[in-house]
Structure 1
C-alpha cells in the first residue's frame, strides 16, 4: 500500500515536467542585466551618483597609508607618549574610514536595489512574453539552476537582450 501511495505521489509531482510541451530555454541573467540598455543605464546612474564619495574614500585610504608609513619612519625618534598619541590618531582615522566605507557600501547596495528593480521586472516580463510567443515550456537561469551543460541552441540570452532593449525603447 505504501509503495503504491509513493508511486502516485511521485507521478503527481513529476508529471507536470513530463507533460511540458516545447523546448527549454536557458539564459545568463547576469549577462542580460549588464548588457541590456536599461541595465547599462542603471549602472551608469549608480556609478555617477557615488563617484564623488568613492574619490573621498580613496583619499582617506591614501592618507591612512601615508600616516602608517610616517609612523614607521618616526618610531625610533618619537617618545613613548608621542608614539601613543600617533597610534591613537591612526586608530581613530582607521575607524572613521571603516565606518565611512560601511556606510558607503550600505548606500550603494540600497541604490543598486532601487535601480535594478524596474530593470529586472522588465526582463522577467520580456522573458515571459518571449517564452509564450516562441513556445518554450520553461526558461531557466543557467547559472542559478546550476546547469553543467547546455546546448548552445537552448541559450536564448542574446535574443532576450534584444527583446529587453526593444521593450525599454517603447517605454
Structure 2
C-alpha cells in the first residue's frame, strides 16, 4: 500500500514539473515602452507643444509671487498697518490664484495625456499579445502592476516590444 501511494505521488510530481518546464514567462515595463516607442515620443511632442506656453505663464506668475513676498518681508517695518494688510491680502489672493492655476494646469495635462495615451496602450496590448503568441510565452506580466521585484536574464521583453511598436508605426498602422 505504501508503494502504491509513493508511486502515485511521484507521478503527480513528475507531471507537474513537466508542465512548469514548458511555461515561458515574460515581463515588460509599460512606462518605458510608452516613453521610448515612436508613438509615445509623438504624444510627448504634442503635449510639450500644447503645454509649454502654460508652463511659462505659470513660472512667470510664480516668480511674481516670490517677488511680492520678498517685498513684503523687506518693507515689513516701513509700511503702515493698513498698507501692510493690503499687500498681505494681495499676496494671499495671488498665491491662491496661482495654486488654482497650477491645479487646473495639472488636471488639463493629465486628461490630455490620458486621451492621447489610451490608443497607444491599446496598441501596446495588441503588440504584446501577438509577440507573446509568436514567441511561445505562457504569461506576460507588466512589471509595475504585478509587483515584480526581480527579473532574470531573458525574461524582460520591453526592448523587443518597443521595436515591434516602432515597426508598426513605420508601417503606418
State the TM bucket, normalised to the shorter chain.
0.7 to 0.9
Confirm or deny that 1:102 pairs with 2:103: yes
Report how far residue 108 of structure 1 moved: 0.3
Confirm or deny that 1:48 pairs with 2:49: yes
Aligned-partner SS, 1:143: helix
Root-mean-square deviation (CA, aligned residues, Å) is: 1.5
How many residues align structurally?
155
Aligned-partner SS, 1:84: helix
Query: What is the CA–CA distance in structure 1 between the aligned matches of 2:133 and 2:80, rounded to whole Å?
Result: 77
Contact in 2 for aligned 1:20/1:137 (Cα 8 Å):
no
Gaps of 5+ in 2: 1-15
Please name the residue that 1:116 is paired with: 117
Report how far residue 147 of structure 1 moved: 1.5
Aligned-partner SS, 2:140: strand
User: Structure 2-normalised TM-score?
Assistant: 0.85
Query: What is the CA–CA distance in structure 1 between the aligned matches of 2:43 and 2:21, rounded to whole Å?
Result: 36
Confirm or deny that 1:78 pairs with 2:73: no
Report how far residue 22 of structure 1 moved: 3.4
Please name the residue that 2:154 is paired with: 153
Query: What is the CA–CA distance in structure 2 between the aligned matches of 1:119 and 1:21, rounded to whole Å?
Result: 31
Confirm or deny that 1:26 pairs with 2:3: no
Q: Compared with structure 1, are the counterparts of its residues 134 and 41 closer, same or farther at alpha carbon in structure 2 (3 Å cutoff)?
A: same
Query: What is the CA–CA distance in structure 1 between the aligned matches of 2:137 and 2:38, rounded to whole Å?
Result: 24
Report how far residue 64 of structure 1 moved: 0.1
Confirm or deny that 1:36 pairs with 2:37: yes
Report how far residue 106 of structure 1 moved: 0.8
Query: What is the CA–CA distance in structure 2 between the aligned matches of 1:116 and 1:105, rounded to whole Å?
Result: 16
Report how far residue 149 of structure 1 moved: 1.7
Greater Cα radius of gyration, structure 1 or 2: 2
Aligned-partner SS, 2:108: helix
Report how far residue 148 of structure 1 moved: 2.2
Gaps of 5+ in 1: 1-14
- After superposition, the C-alpha distances for 1:66-94 in whole angstroms (9 at most, x for unaligned) are 00000101000000000000000001100
Query: What is the CA–CA distance in structure 2 between the aligned matches of 1:152 and 1:42, rounded to whole Å?
Result: 31
